[in-house]
Amino acid sequence: MRVVHIIPSIGSSGGAERLVVQLASAMAETNDVKMITYRNIAENSNYIKELSKNVECYSMGKTKGFDMFLSFKLARLLKNINPDIVNAHLPSSFLYLVLSVLLLKKTSFVFTIHSLPMHEENRRWIIIIRKILYKTGRLSLVTLSEMSDFELQSYYGIKSSAIIPNGIIQPKTSDKLESVRHEISQMKTSKETLVLINIGRIDENKNQKMLCDVINRLQLEKKRNVLLLIIGEPSNASSDYYNMLRDNNYENVYFLGLKSNIADYLMCADTFCLTSFKEGLPLVVLEAMSFGLPIISTPVGGVPDVIEDKINGMLSSDFTLDSYFQTLDNFFDLTLDEIKKISANNIFKFNKYFTIDKTADNYLDLYKRLTNK
């Protein structure tokens, strides 16, 4: 089967970009897979280094702003490639794809919604175009979770063609692991200090302020012996938010910036914390699961489809500080045996449902159904 994945860029450090690179690479083991990016790819991009040599990659040279000729160039390129399936990712890929969907009748088109539909696209005219293409059978939609699919039906009045959870390749530890162990041991106040970790872009939607406030309150009110590591950087738009967090001088909270060796930090942590308001199905949650870390999260996006309360983590009842504080405090009251069981459940669940090979198989099953191949 000839498959083309389309994504605006793979130069950034986003979860969708990483998923698409890993997904295309996994599919290329048994299929003819190509990737099209609208913007040029930097040769030093970590993601292009991870892309399988079996995946032929086309970059279309788009610059900032709207490119009125890109739709025509894309349609011509796809006609020459003649794929069985085109799978597009992220909202900014959609508009330039419409002409190809209308012209290339022998090709099936799939669009993956990587976040909750209400947050992913709010332009009414694009929603109408999607509805028309879906209801005429020219476009199939994929969601990542039951929650996302439910919201798709509420927001668009349509149901997805398939719910396919994200999958990942478990990140590997590096030769820096022992130095990371030493680094973290220097931050601890005692050997009993529990290490909590949060990984992701620092901004208001990720809600790290609430997490810092909860950690501060746990130390003051409950005398919990905890340490919080926050790995990630702000975008330009959220630099003020990041500076505000840094200026608060939270006790035992460390901002470590971007790290290329996050597996080393996950190996050295006791718990992964997520306090986001908006998410699809974060890949970092799956990465933490693969190392057996209990997940303490808000009930955001597809996370409730992955995390069962007290089975492989704990979910707050809502997005308030009080709810998350109580959830994290309750977790600290669990016995060591209960925590070990949660860790074992996470490793088992990851290996059964959330490897990249499992995700690739699920997509290929959908492609075969759409193309009758």
Work out the pLDDT band at 158, boundaries 50, 70, 90: confident
Residue type at 236? N
pLDDT at 13: 64
Distance CA 142, CA 92 (A): 16
Q: What is the 3-state secondary structure (H, E, C) of 311-369?
A: CCEEECCCCCHHHHHHHHHHHHCCCHHHHHHHHHHHHHHHHHHCEHHHHHHHHHHHHHH
Q: What is the mean pLDDT of the chain?
A: 93
Nearest to 171 by CA among 267, 64, 35, 310: 267
**Backbone φ and ψ of 33, nearest 5°:** -120, 135
Take residue 215 and report the two structure tokens written for it.
């950690």
The pLDDT tens digits of the residues spanning 197-224 come to 999 999 999 999 999 999 999 999 999 9
- Over range 143-157, report the average pLDDT: 89
Q: Is the pLDDT of residue 41 over 90?
A: no
Residue 185 has pLDDT above 90, yes or no: yes
pLDDT at residue 273, rounded to an integer? 98
CA–CA distance, 151 with 241 (Å, rounded to integer): 29
Which pLDDT score is estimated for 42? 63
pLDDT tens digit string along 329-338? Answer: 999 999 999 9
What CA–CA distances, in Å, run from 72 to 10, 61, 69, 82, 354? 22, 14, 6, 15, 37
Rounded Cα distance between 367 and 118, Å, is 26
Average pLDDT for residues 130-155, to the nearest whole number? 91
| Average pLDDT rounded to a whole number, residues 335-354 | 96
Q: What is the pLDDT of residue 369?
A: 96
Q: What tens digit of pLDDT does each residue of 223-246 get?
A: 999 999 999 999 888 999 999 999
Query: pLDDT of 78-126, one tens digit each?
Result: 999 999 999 999 999 999 999 999 999 999 999 999 988 887 888 889 9
pLDDT at 305 > cutoff 80: yes
Mean pLDDT of 263-286: 95
**Given a cut of 90, is residue 48 above it in pLDDT?**
no
* pLDDT at residue 43 in the model: 54
* DSSP secondary structure letters along 173-219: P-TTHHHHHHHHHHH-SSTT-EEEEEES--STTTTHHHHHHHHHHHH
Domains of the chain: 2-169+355-371 (3.40.50.2000), 177-353 (3.40.50.2000)
First to last CA, the chain: 8
Average pLDDT estimate for 181-197: 96
Across the range 67-78, mean pLDDT stands at 96
- How large is the average pLDDT for residues 270-299? 95
User: What distance in Å separates the CA atoms of residue 197 and residue 288, rounded to the nearest whole number?
Assistant: 9
For the chain, what's the residue count?
373
Q: Given this model, what pLDDT does residue 229 score?
A: 98
Above 90 in pLDDT, residue 69?
Answer: yes
| pLDDT at 19 > cutoff 80 | yes
Tokens of 261: 């060796």
Q: How confident is the model at residue 15 (pLDDT cuts 50, 70, 90)?
A: confident
Radius of gyration of the chain (CA): 21
What integer is the mean pLDDT of 65-78? 94
